[in-house]
Structure 1
Amino acid sequence: MARTTDSLLVARIGKPHGLRGEVTVQTHTDDPESRYAPGTLFETEAQPGTGVPRQLTLSTARKHREVWLLGFAEIPDRTGAESLRGTRLFLDLDTVEEDADADDDGWYEHDLVGLSVRDPDGAVLGEVTGLVVGAVQDLLEVRLSDGREALVPFVEAIVTEVDTEAGHVVVDAPAGLFDLDET
């Protein structure tokens, strides 16, 4: 699907809920109350051939047992909602109000992808290819210099520095972190 490269992943759609087209979502935003405002237009990313519209207009948003339920103007029933399963929802960064709080130590995936990964001595270990947002902690997806893929816990004790201006992150990896799949 064609979407702008300057977009923010907000949610991934799960299973349908009820008969009126609502779906559960796995939230990937720190501010769902403002991101899930009725009338919000989301860009979508879905598997080819699913028939998912390129954009969805949010019509309803509510929490049910700590799970967000979203409804879309383009999806009137459960059958339509089922077709959305696995679809990722994005907001254009131009429409997202950036938090002006200087003490915010958070990063969006687009801030991190492409940064080189270095050890504390400055040796290049690889490149950040993605960010896996987790309930307890996030993980950096890293393509190591030898082509292997690795997941690095995105915690201060391991990722000791993020310098987007210099274009790198420093990873003080515990022994064996990058050797887990070797025998």
Structure 2
Amino acid sequence: MELVVGRVAKSHGVRGELAVDVRTDAPEIRFAEGAILQGRKPREKKLHSYTVEAVREHSGRLLLRLVGVDGREAADALRGTLFVIDSADVEPSEDPDEYYDHELEGLDVRLPDGTIFGKVREVLHTLGGELLAVRPAGEGPEILVPFVNAIVTTISTADGVIDIDPPVGLLNLADAETDTPPQA
């Protein structure tokens, strides 16, 4: 399984630098000078290899110079490129309460009564915190579940399940669980 470690947001300047949005906890390793990156251009499946020539931080992003990418036009052609690694190359976390996104994606989401509500499609990282994007087992739209201890009670990657205790209304169950009569 491929894991995204960065995405080319845009070119920077006229010498071929790339502004990269970082999506890894180890940018100093993944994007070090001399590192070889595997990248896939937008709408392509084929991976290309790129060697990091220089790297520096700038406004919350990394600016990369890649060997062979000379000039703004060549950098613009890489806009949207995703830099990826194989999930097998990632060491497991030593903290039992920390998980990589790929370890959670695909796990069943179970309610307190034992019912499987759906599966985690993706882990979203927002300014307000992490969210689990859950695709319900039956009909219905995808549900965003806050990834907080008050709602996500246990995680077992070995059993392939995440137990949640959602507040009323989170899973669109508010009408079925309240004693309030419908308004006329």
Larger Rg: 2
Instruction: Give the CA deviation at 1:26.
Output: 1.8
Please list the CA deviations of residues 46-71 of structure 1 after superposition, one character each: whole Å capped at 9, or x if unmatched.
Answer: 3226x996232222211123322122
Q: Is there any run of 5+ residues in structure 1 with no aligned partner, and where?
A: none
Q: 1:77 aligns with which of 65, 71, 77?
A: 71
Is 1:153 equivalent to 2:133 in the alignment? no
Q: Hey, what's the Cα distance between the residues in 1 that align with 2:10 and 2:130?
A: 23
| 1:125 alignment counterpart | 117
Moved over 6 A (4+): none
Please list the CA deviations of residues 119-149 of structure 1 after superposition, one character each: whole Å capped at 9, or x if unmatched.
Answer: 1232100011122233452222211112421
Normalised TM-score (structure 2)? 0.80
Q: Hey, what's the Cα distance between the residues in 2 that align with 1:136 and 1:20?
A: 36
Q: 1:171 aligns with which of 164, 171, 174?
A: 164
Matched-pair contact (CA < 8 Å) for 2:40–2:47? no
Written as runs of structure 1 = structure 2, the 5 A alignment for 1:26-175 is: 26-48=21-43, 54-96=48-90, 98=91, 102-103=94-95, 105-147=97-139, 148-175=141-168
Instruction: Give the CA deviation at 1:161.
Output: 1.5
Partner of 2:129, secondary structure, is coil
Normalised TM-score (structure 1)? 0.80
What is the percent sequence identity of the aligned residues? 38
* Distance change in 2, residues 1:55/1:34 (3 Å): same
Instruction: Give the CA deviation at 1:94.
Output: 4.6
Partner of 1:156, secondary structure, is coil
Matched-pair contact (CA < 8 Å) for 1:127–1:144? yes
Q: Hey, what's the Cα distance between the residues in 1 that align with 2:159 and 2:122?
A: 18
Q: Is there any run of 5+ residues in structure 2 with no aligned partner, and where?
A: 174-184
- Alignment RMSD (CA, Å): 2.5
Instruction: Give the CA deviation at 1:116.
Output: 0.4
Partner of 2:55, secondary structure, is strand
| Equivalent AA in structure 2 for residue 123 of structure 1 | T
Please list the CA deviations of residues 1-39 of structure 1 after superposition, one character each: whole Å capped at 9, or x if unmatched.
Answer: xxxx2x332112212111122122221112222221122
Partner of 1:85, secondary structure, is coil
Partner of 1:33, secondary structure, is helix
Q: Which moved more, 1:29-38 or 1:164-173?
A: 29-38
Q: Hey, what's the Cα distance between the residues in 2 that align with 1:179 and 1:127?
A: 16
Q: How many residues align?
A: 172
